[in-house]
Structure 1
Amino acid sequence: MSDGPSAGANAPPRTEAQRPRVSVVMATYNRLTLLPRLLRQLARQTLPPSDYEVMVVDDGSKEPAEGPLRELAKELPYALRVETQKNAGAAAARHRGVLASRGDVVIITDDDMQVPEDFVQRHLEQHPDGSRHVVLGRIDSDPAIDDMPLFERWYAYLHDRLARRLNEEGAHGWNLYTGNVSFRREDYVAVGGFDPNLKQSEDIELGIRLEKSGCRVRFCNDSYVLHGSDHTSFEKWLARAHRYGIMDSRLSERHSDVPQVDPWRMLFEMNALARPLLATAVMLPGPTKPVTEALMGAARMADRLGLAGVAFKSTSVAYTMEYLRGARAEAGSWREVARRIARYRQASARAGAASQEPSRKDSNGEP
């Protein structure tokens, strides 16, 4: 456990009166080839360097980041702070970073992102004094997205769709993602922060608690990052989908009043043509594995033929099949599967009725 560079090579220690207004926090794991790019972009911000700091938590990288970042800090105008921990997952690393941060406003981003020069300024502007906002920024595609695997381009496609929806309909806690989000540190601490026991979806779970505590979740289209990834393994991508199914199941047990995070919603929200495949993945998790692989083979073929729409839809179905296998594994028994599906239907019906309540009052002329 260690604290790394606190500022540039010759920068004097800061007094309490010189505390930064903003802390940019990121976890890193085996990303020394990408991380310096982001840290140098953060050096070119429109906000004065004294107004922000950057906190990096190395989550047990095979090649420790602290030494190289100590050297990099000599050329950076802002305070760069580094902490190192044994590998405990991104949630634990981000939580440690937020607790160690000194700014009133915390921005969280990922180590494979790129940011524009007004990135920190845009987020800070969304947090006027006295506000309790959680601000989601836009995630755009890396300029090199066309060179990335199909599943990474599919993620970019989903980010684009989500940004349009959040811009039109507004955001909620269950939309929170750690690639580009900001909040007040005191609000984070008050709700307990990230849960390190969740190895996926810890961001969504935090967002739900922040919203339930009274924070207003907002989407800021102007606060954008560029997302590029070094993920290349299809097998790891499928394993990630499986973990999300497990973790979202645990998440929905905690927040059964939020049907938007229940994994069983996919049986009802996906295209009707895909539902039989999803159902068979739940009923026969093992035997239908080859179906998922065949779907991805068809997706790659469509991609090579320039049929992006078909490729993305096939990828969505393949991902969701593995996601529901994870939910099925977490449920254990058929009886428990039936209970969870019934609970989702009930929670969804209640949420739908609640969303209609204001219009009913308006139609009755009531205040």
Structure 2
Amino acid sequence: MSDSPSASSDAPPRNEAQRPRVSVVMATYNRLALLPRLLQQLARQTLPPSDYEVVVVDDGSKEPAQGPLEALAQELPYTLRVETQKNAGAAAARHRGVLAARGDVVIITDDDMQVPEDFVQRHLEQHPEGSRHVVLGRIDPDPAISDMPLFERWYAYLHDRLARRLHEEGAHGWNLYTGNVSFRREDYVAVGGFDPSLKQSEDIELGIRLEKAGCQVRFCNDSYVLHGSDHTSFEKWLARAHRYGIMDSRLSERHSDVPQVDPWRMLFEMNALARPLLATAVALPGPTKPVTNALMGAAKLADRLGLKQVAFKSTSVAYTMEYLRGARAEAGSWREVARRIARYRQASAQGAEGFPRDAGKDSSGAP
């Protein structure tokens, strides 16, 4: 399969007159109540308002965002542009936003983030003239994290652990996440942009293509966002884990030379005590569902008792069980499961030039 996504990457012509240096792009879906907070924070940036613009793409929200946002735009010092489309997913929405962007540098963030006053400037400083950088910024938890469900606090814990490792060891394309990233628009267009056929992990897949195309992936610890969450459903959280297992399987088929994105790595990277549970989730996907629910029950109890590490470890195992059920569903047959596991083992043992074998843990789509 080709590394390029199926969506057209033909960019519309841009007006060069008074073109901003930076475009901040975000997709939104049914979060009209949250957007003004972020847009107002972007109004207080240290850069002159003429140096940046904001492009919001409404991905078919039930309450259209265009009217209220265009009214808000009259109060903002920078140019705010709103694009609308039928619901097609975050990848398609972000792709549309980047193509509509007029800045040479594009920053992507999410509609539920909060940003400091130097957010745009910090990213711009990472893209000196002639560079081809992909810059990941830090994602810190919202101060109200203690009020969030356990699974969202677990995500925040993973982001914190990932940030420490990227700061110490450096970043790669498979670490890319869309909550806080910047790159040159021309590099994005050259590799074809986000693949809308991937409903999860489209960020990692884009990062791999950008790195393979010669971009240098960097981590900027000083460019941070605060991440809150309005996700409260345990069932939706499990469904998302299942989708990640499916989409990471497709991603691995496309980039079989990058073992860090292969979902079957979890059978070998997780704690040895957890591996029998993971194996049973693959062998008996349906009958082991109650085990996953029981694990989350134990995690919540540990959380109430103040046993944070026990709660997070139990949550991680529960997530990974559902993640591997997704990978198992995508594989279909036992013969195909065996083939994919064998392929991962071979790729992991051989390594891939420029892709260290131990750097793929804690990526945005993986437990």
Partner of 2:153: 153
Please state how far the C-alpha of 1:250 moved relative to its aligned partner: 0.0
Q: Which amino acid aligns with 1:43?
A: A
How far apart in 2 are the matches of 1:354 and 1:107?
26
What is the correspondence of 1:54-203 to structure 2 with a 5 Å cutoff?
54-203=54-203
Shift of 1:71: 1.1
How many Å apart are 1:16 and its aligned residue? 2.7
> Which protein shows a greater Rg?
1
Work out whether 1:256 is the aligned partner of 2:256: yes
Tell me what 1:279 maps to. 279
Change (3 A) 1:355 1:173: closer
Q: Distance in 2 between matches of 1:269 and 1:30?
A: 37
Q: In structure 2, what residue type is equivalent to 1:140?
A: D
TM-score (norm 2): 0.92
Deviations 1:35-85 (A, max 9, x none): 110000000000000000000000000000001101111110000000000
Tell me, in whole angstroms, the C-alpha distance in 1 between the residues paired with 2:93 and 2:275: 37
The residue matched to 2:324 in structure 1 has which SS? helix
Residues 258 and 355 of structure 2 are in contact (CA less than 8 Å); yes or no, is this contact kept in structure 1? Answer: no
CA distance in 2, matches of 1:67, 1:112: 19
Equivalent residue, structure 2, for 1:4:
none
* Cα displacement (A) at 1:352: 7.2
Confirm whether residue 329 of structure 1 aligns to residue 329 of structure 2: yes
Query: RCO (CA 8 Å, sep 6+): is it higher in 1 or 2?
Result: 2
- Which residue is 1:364 aligned to? none
Distance 1:60 1:354 in 2: 40
Shift of 1:314: 0.2
Structure 2 partner of 1:237: 237
The DSSP-based 3-state class of the residue aligned with 1:204 is: helix
Distance in 2, matches of 1:146 and 1:250, equals 35
Residue 306 (structure 1) aligns with: 306
Structure 1 CA distance for aligned equivalents of residues 131 and 233 of structure 2? 42
The answer as to 2:269 corresponding to 1:269 is: yes
Query: Does the C-alpha gap of structure 1 residues 215 and 29 become closer, same or farther in structure 2, counting only changes over 3 Å?
Result: same
Distance 1:67 1:213 in 2: 39
CA distance in 2 between counterparts of 1:175 and 1:185 reads 19
1:360 paired residue number: none
Match of 1:225? 225
Classify 1:354/1:175 alpha carbon distance in 2 versus 1 (closer, same or farther; 3 Å): closer
Q: SS at 2:62's partner residue? A: coil
Q: Which runs of 4+ in 1 moved over 6 A?
A: 352-356
| 1:291 equivalent in alignment to 2:255 | no
Aligned residue type for 2:79: A
CA shift at 1:355, angstroms?
Answer: 7.3
Please list every run of 5 or more consecutive structure 2 residues that lacks an aligned counterpart in the other structure: 1-13, 357-367
Deviation string 1:292-323 (CA, Å, 9 cap, x unpaired) is: 00000000000000000000000000000000
> Equivalents in 1 of 2:261, 2:352: separation in Å?
15
SS at match of 2:54: strand
Question: May I ask how many residue pairs the two structures share in their alignment?
Answer: 343
**Other structure's SS at 1:111 match:** coil
Shift of 1:33: 1.3
Go from structure 1 to structure 2 and tell me whether the alpha carbon gap of 1:265 and 1:56 turns closer, same or farther (over 3 Å shift).
Answer: same
Q: Kindly indicate whether the alpha-carbon contact (under 8 Å) linking 2:140 and 2:227 is maintained by their aligned counterparts in 1.
A: yes
The CA deviation at 1:17 is 2.9
User: For 2:289 and 2:330, how far apart are their aligned partners in 1?
Assistant: 17
Offset, 1:129: 0.2
Partner of 1:312, secondary structure, is helix
Three-state SS of the structure 1 residue aligned to 2:351 is: helix
Does the residue aligned with 2:17 lie in a helix, a strand or coil? helix
**Which secondary structure state, in structure 1, belongs to the residue aligned with residue 232 of structure 2?**
coil
Residue identity in the other structure for 1:103: G
Partner of 1:320: 320
Counterpart of 1:6 in structure 2 is: none
Quick check: 1:42 aligned with 2:49?
Answer: no
Determine the structure 1 residue equivalent to 2:32. Answer: 32
Letter aligned with residue 150 of structure 2: L
Root-mean-square deviation (CA, aligned residues, Å) is 1.2
Query: Using the alignment, how far apart are the partners of 1:71 and 1:55 within structure 2?
Result: 15
Change beyond 3 A, Cα 1:272–1:56: same
TM superposition shift of 1:205? 0.1
Q: Counterpart of 1:203 in structure 2: which amino acid?
A: D
Larger fraction in helix: 1
Amino acid in structure 2 at the alignment position of 1:142: D
Local SS of the residue matching 2:30: coil
| Aligned equivalents of 2:350, 2:212: Cα separation in 1 | 17
Q: Write the letter of the residue equivalent to 2:184.
A: R
Give the SS at the match of 1:236.
helix
